[in-house]
Amino acid sequence: MSDADEKRDEELEFDRLMALHGHDVPEDLRPGVLAVHLELKRMTALLRTADLAPESEPAHVFSVETRTPEV
């Protein structure tokens, strides 16, 4: 897939998401909002790859399953 095809696909996905949620992004703001969308997508992908042990998580983030002893 070429860079132009990838860019077009990203823009189509963005347009679909905005329409799905009823957002009308003004044309003058669209490039900035699209850039933020793509950056958030990139950062979210990084978060999902973290493979941390439960004790490495911040105190305010936890899973009941990882803190409950097996019975």
Percentage of residues of the chain with pLDDT beyond 90: 48
The answer to whether residue 9 scores a pLDDT higher than 80 is yes
Check residue 46 and give its pLDDT: 77
For residue 21, CA distances in Å to 2, 26, 27, 40 come to: 29, 15, 17, 17
Q: How confident is the model at residue 31 (pLDDT cuts 50, 70, 90)?
A: very high
Would you state the pLDDT for residue 15? 93
Taking 70 as the threshold, does the pLDDT of residue 61 lie above it? no
